[in-house]
Structure 1
Amino acid sequence: MTSEERRAIDAKIRRDFPLIYAHPEIAYLDNSATTQKPESVLRAMQHYYLEENANPLRGLYELSVKATEAYEDAREAVREFIHAASHEEIIFTRNATESLNLLAYAATEAFLGEGDEILITIMEHHSNLIPWQQAAARKGAVLKFLEPDEEGYISEEQFRRMLSPKTKLVSMTHISNVLGVKNDVKTFARLAHENGSLFVLDGAQSVPHIPVDVADLDVDFLAFSGHKMLAPMGIGVLYGKRDLLLAMPPFLFGGEMIEYVSREKATWAELPHKFEAGTVNVGGAVGLRAAIDYYKQLGWDTILEREAHLSCLAMKKLSAIPHLRVLGPKGGEEHHGIFTFTIEGVHPHDIAAILDADKVNIRAGHHCAQPLMQFMKTPSTTRASFAFYNTEEELDRFVESLRKVRREMGYQE
């Protein structure tokens, strides 16, 4: 693809995103935290609230029926997007964090006992660590950690070695929010099942950037957030195999998740409503469906090519900056748009502040992965994360700003 062709596509895509189109002075490179929203998503939500807003599932009047249809149509769109077998396997939550908390409570109650083992990786986001940490403490189970090599990869050999007859559940990130490395989930899920273990996948960083097929991967559960994939904040998904969800108790109790209530007891609604207590976020679900429609319209081939191109170019340019060290894989494409780095002698917060003065938006800190930071002996880092709507020009602005960081901090190069 020529530079002219790429710039033409850049311009077309960026017109779809009101915030970045209206503010070309901003280079938004914090997409792992949240993405910008295309106009089609904003309009879909506006249409719902202007034309179809009502409490779904409960009313027999036309407006409530429309709200119910909008909500369930969104569920079907999610099912198709991740290739789940049934709409019953799609649970709407607020975000990946709530999905994982729901799972850590309900799956623990159903499947774990004292002395059982839960296997996770040291690179997990706190959302996929603390719920299991608390579940292990509650049940008297043991939490075990897989540790990556210097590039962030976990080997099949180590995975086999860490599995034991006591391992009842494995939970891991698909793509690390710090290192950008992608775990070999299909292999690990197969080995877990051969061991009689359940497999949980945190797809917060993968579902927005690569095709995720739960049937092909054969994971038992998948959690992800809408706001990291062009949809609004406040909507997330938990996928689970139907037979496992049926065996799990509800996480929250109240309206809509019940079938029958007496003074003494209650029975639960059928899937997926058993896990969706209270008034649901129809507007968020509508926005998520519109985001999925945008992905389908743009196409995975375009998304993957653009993000791989930016990743390779970013690694090449960052590697040429003196005193800068990129954590994780050596290959640019293997970072999946996520570049976490340090600059010798400069605190990450200072790096972020200097870049902010140049209207380059990045992130600094421990990225909700403190055990990984401790493992790497790096208290905090700076992270830039790219999406398909980012451009080479934004990358160049980012690199140019980084090159002056040490000079701004008083170092004589």
Structure 2
Amino acid sequence: MRVGEFNKKKEDLHTNKSFVFLNVLLKIFGLKCYVHRNASKLFLTRLLLTIIILGALLIFNLHYKATNLNNILNISVKITDTVQSVYDYFQYIIDLFYVYKYGGLVYCEYFKQYDTIDGIIGKGNYKLTINRRLSKLSGIFVAFWLTSSTCDFVAWALSFGWKTPMVYSTAYLYLLIRMVTTLDIISHILQIQCRMSMIYEIVHVNYVSADNLPGTICDSVENKNWFYGKNNMHEADSNKIRPVCIRDKNLSRCYLILTEQCSYINQMFGVRVLLNTFSSFIDMVRFTNLTVRMIVGSQHIQYNTVYFPIASTISRMLTCAIIFISLVLHCENAYRQNEKIILIIDHLFINKNPGPELRASMSELRDLVRSRPVNFHLANFFRLDYTLLISTASVVTTYSIILLQSIN
């Protein structure tokens, strides 16, 4: 593919193109996928410099903490902080590796598949929907990041002076990188969700156009007595969709391509999100440990009150939790589209009298959705769903209690 064609695909297909804030942050941290292969030498040079600078900063920070803060911080706080600092550095290197591996023309080919889907089911108002949601979400993320980081910096500066918080401020940078990575994968999840929503709308329109069976008393779907009778993703566009003559397995093809898109997303982000999740887990454990130690007085604070440092630490813990919870919620919203498609097809078969061709196509689509549901996972270790939230909360609680056993 020529560079001109590549750039055109970026402009036409990349939904986040108009979302300037996310793209700027991705480019700053070297996590922007679709520019790397066209300027590989420059990109690799930039990555090498970034890795060297961050590595030197990590070594300096660890040396400063070991030589100047031995008598200030509790031993469990020092250990968890050291583990987190080293972990964040190597996690960022792995992020860069996966971005380079699945970026460039591979990334462009991935978005070409969305173009194929849109050619079959039509172009919904995807860009506006995704950008609006990402704008709200990024505003929440940045607000929490700025508030928690600023309050934490000021709290520790008042307790230990300004030099010590400066050494610890690299943690704020790595937290921002985790936020940007999370926003990036959420943008891809929204791509899947929007198109699945469009498939649902097409099935719904065909449901409405089909004849009722004799003796049908009430149409639950049209009366919106069920939660799936209303689609929030494309409410404004639902009246514009016309009945579609489904032939040649078109909807099944579209859904199958979407499952392949999910495979790419899992390959691109699976390991990265797994590491991000573990990093957030370490953060939540150490912040819980630090908060409890400040409350009971095990961690001495050189400040006239401990309430401000406690509040700032809790805000950092909540920021990590919000990032993870938001990702899971968006995955669950995509899973709900699976359920809605199956339910509307079931109503079509039970309450309506579809023609043989429509029945065959819908039956094939239902079987495909049941056998190959949309699925987002962490490198095949865990599925991103509500049960993972419960497991994470349980593990954080358990390890926090273990660390707190050493309180004098």
TM-score normalised over the length of structure 2: 0.25
Higher strand share: 1
Structure 1 or 2, whichever has the larger Rg, is 2
